[in-house]
Amino acid sequence: MLQRSKLIRSRDEWKDKAVQRSYEIREHRKSRKRYLEQIAELKAQVREISQANEDKKTLLNSPLRLLK
């Protein structure tokens, strides 16, 4: 049977690794959430710009503009 001190050291090392791993996972989730929110914001901006561009094209090609 292993000495008690070796068991305790092994357990403490395992515990430290588990804590570190959970911290890294938590940070990864936070950063992923931030990136997904940023992507959503950028996609919304692209949609707004595209819609504004389409509206501008529609106004430029409308028949009423040609009559003026």
* Mean local confidence (pLDDT), 28-53: 97
- Tell if the pTM clears 0.85, that is, is over it: no
- CA 27 – CA 32 distance, rounded (Å): 8
Whether 56 has a pLDDT exceeding 90, the answer reads: no
Q: pLDDT-derived band of residue 36, with 50, 70 and 90 as boundaries?
A: very high
Q: pLDDT-derived band of residue 18, with 50, 70 and 90 as boundaries?
A: very high
Whether 68 has a pLDDT exceeding 60, the answer reads: no
- CA 65 – CA 53 distance, rounded (Å): 17
- How confident is the model at residue 58, as a pLDDT? 81
